[in-house]
DNA sequence: AAACGCCGCAACCGCCGAGGT
DNA sequence: AACCTCGGCGGTTGCGGCGTT
């Protein structure tokens, strides 16, 4: 284990510690306490630099270090704290007795981060990111793999623009609103803030397209504001909804795989508002494990009714800061500590309820 | 069983801020 | 104010173990 000595400056040893060195260090610290780390190696008879001694002690030899697998409680705490603190490993470690910042950092990079990515969750922002799933390439791959040209791919050239993640998020949110509470949607569409946000997002999209009633994409329109009155945007949302329904059906019919589940869009929005720990470790015993989290009948409603968010800001959906992390003593259901990594992964996947095809290489995101 | 590639993690590196002179 | 020392922190490295072919 560990890095081999890369140099031997000042005659000091580097690389993995031997049991003899460990014993010397432990014995010395037990007798004298570390004191000045720079002087410690000389006093302890070690051919190491003080920094190396300090790291060895704090990360490995300290008697109060808890070793072994992280429990679910610990993992959940790490995720929650990371959503608040970011890569402040020492601060996170301070909340996890017996764990070192180095250990937590390693665990994050080798386990949690990858798991989040596999489930389409941005490990930096802790929010779902459809672009991590690279839907456009999934779709293209699926379509191109069809031996018969049941669908003219050129007709779908516009999907690259449609599958812009920001636009997807925006549309999915509108669909959620529309399905769960159309009146609320209208109410919030009437707030100019939303329209402005949509306008900004669309203007940032260089591949703006116009949707017609036949779910086909045509040439970009120069004046996107024409899309932004309420009626027309609802129409656009309807068209996109139909398109995804078509795509899903197409996918099911031709590849036996539901690559774009019909509930994906709604779940993406719902998950966005849910604490990440709930996304990852929702109780498998919940009445409907495919319906994520929200204890209220409508997660959307809970967001909209949140006293701190009287004005539903579309930017919060788009840029996705984690605004209200759950308390550390969250009452979410833990899996028992003896669960395997596969079981954790299984719960994560089943919870998000969509499949990531084998062909999708997530290594690019790591 | 040998070769290969991936993964986990201990340890190193470089930077930064606090405190002392 | 400038410099130095020290400890702390986050990022990165690369060996060794393990699984796969």
3-state SS of A95-106? CCCCCCHHHHHH
Q: Is the pLDDT of residue A32 over 60?
A: yes
Question: Would you say the C-beta of A57 is within 7 Å of strand C?
Answer: no
The mean pLDDT of chain A is: 53
> Closest protein residue to C13 using CA and C1' atoms?
A3
The answer, yes or no, to whether residue A213 has pLDDT greater than 70, is no
pLDDT, greater one: A23 or A281: A23
Spans of all domains in chain A: 9-61, 72-118, 135-266
CA dist list (Å): A111 to A198, A229, A360: 36, 46, 19
Nearest nt by C1' to A109 Cα:
B8
Q: Does residue A67 register a pLDDT over 60?
A: yes
SS percent in chain A: helix, strand, coil, step 5 = 55, 0, 40
Calculate mean pLDDT across residues A78-97.
86
pLDDT of A208 higher than 60: no
A250 pLDDT band (50/70/90 cuts)?
very low
Q: Sorting pLDDT into bands at 50, 70 and 90, what band is A46?
A: confident
CA distances from A121 to A30, A106, A320, A339, A352 (A): 45, 19, 11, 22, 10
A114 CB less than 7 Å from any atom of strand B: yes
Q: Chain B: nucleotides under 7 Å from a protein CB?
A: 7-14
A66 phi, psi to nearest 5 deg: -90, 125
**Other C-beta atoms lying within 10 Å of the C-beta of residue A211:** 22
Q: Do domains A9-61 and A72-118 have the same CATH topology?
A: yes
Per CATH, the architecture of A72-118 is what?
Orthogonal Bundle (1.10)
Strand C closer than 7 A to residue A87 Cβ: yes
Its pTM stands at: 0.50
Q: Is the CB of A59 under 7 A from strand B?
A: yes
Which has the minimum average pLDDT: A126-135, A162-171, A285-294, A355-364? A285-294
Interior/surface letters A5-43, b for 16+ CB within 10 angstroms, e for the rest: eeeeeeeebbeebeeebeebbbebbeeeebeeeeebbee
The band of A305, judged by pLDDT with boundaries at 50, 70 and 90, is very low
Is A103's CB less than 7 Å from nucleic acid strand B?
A: yes
CATH superfamily assigned to domain A9-61: Homeodomain-like (1.10.10.60)
Most confident region among A217-221, A236-240, A261-265 by mean pLDDT:
A236-240
What is the structure's pLDDT at A131? 60
Model pLDDT, residue A363: 39
- Residue A311 pLDDT more than 80? no
Judge if the beta carbon of A2 is closer than 7 A to nucleic acid strand C. yes
Q: Is the CB of A7 under 7 A from strand C?
A: no
């Amino acid at each position: 284990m560990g890095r081999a000595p890369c140099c031997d400056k000042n005659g000091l040893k580097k690389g993995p510690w031997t049991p003899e060195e460990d014993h010397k260090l432990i014995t010395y610290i037990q007798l004298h306490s570390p004191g000045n780390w720079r002087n410690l190696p000389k006093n302890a008879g070690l051919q190491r630099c003080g920094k190396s001694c300090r790291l060895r002690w704090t990360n490995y030899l300290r008697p109060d270090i808890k070793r072994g697998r992280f429990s679910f409680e610990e993992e959940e705490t790490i995720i929650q704290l990371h959503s608040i603190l970011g890569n402040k490993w020492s601060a996170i470690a301070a909340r996890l007795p017996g764990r070192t910042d180095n250990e937590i950092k390693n665990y994050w990079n080798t386990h949690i981060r990858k798991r989040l990515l596999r489930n389409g969750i941005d490990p930096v922002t802790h929010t779902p990111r459809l672009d991590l799933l690279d839907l456009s390439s999934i779709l293209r791959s699926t379509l191109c793999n069809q031996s018969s040209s049941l669908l003219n791919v050129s007709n779908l050239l516009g999907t690259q623009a449609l599958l812009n993640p920001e636009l997807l998020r925006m549309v999915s949110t509108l669909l959620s609103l529309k399905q769960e509470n159309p009146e609320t949607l209208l109410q919030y569409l009437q707030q100019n803030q939303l329209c402005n946000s949509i306008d900004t997002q669309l203007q940032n999209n260089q591949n703006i397209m116009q949707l017609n009633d036949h779910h086909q994409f045509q040439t970009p329109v120069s004046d996107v504001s024409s899309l932004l009155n309420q009626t027309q945007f609802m129409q656009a949302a309807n068209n996109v909804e139909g398109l995804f329904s078509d795509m899903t059906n197409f996918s099911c019919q031709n590849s036996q795989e539901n690559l774009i589940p019909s509930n994906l869009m709604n779940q993406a929005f719902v998950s966005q508002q849910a604490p990440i720990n709930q996304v990852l470790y929702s109780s498998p015993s919940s009445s409907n494990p495919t319906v994520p989290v929200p204890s209220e009948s409508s997660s959307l409603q809970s967001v909209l009714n949140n006293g701190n968010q009287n004005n539903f800001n579309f930017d919060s959906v788009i840029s996705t800061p984690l605004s209200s992390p759950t308390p550390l003593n969250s009452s979410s259901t833990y899996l028992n500590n003896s669960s395997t990594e596969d079981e954790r992964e299984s719960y994560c996947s089943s919870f998000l309820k969509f499949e990531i095809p084998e062909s999708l290489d997530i290594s690019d995101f790591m």
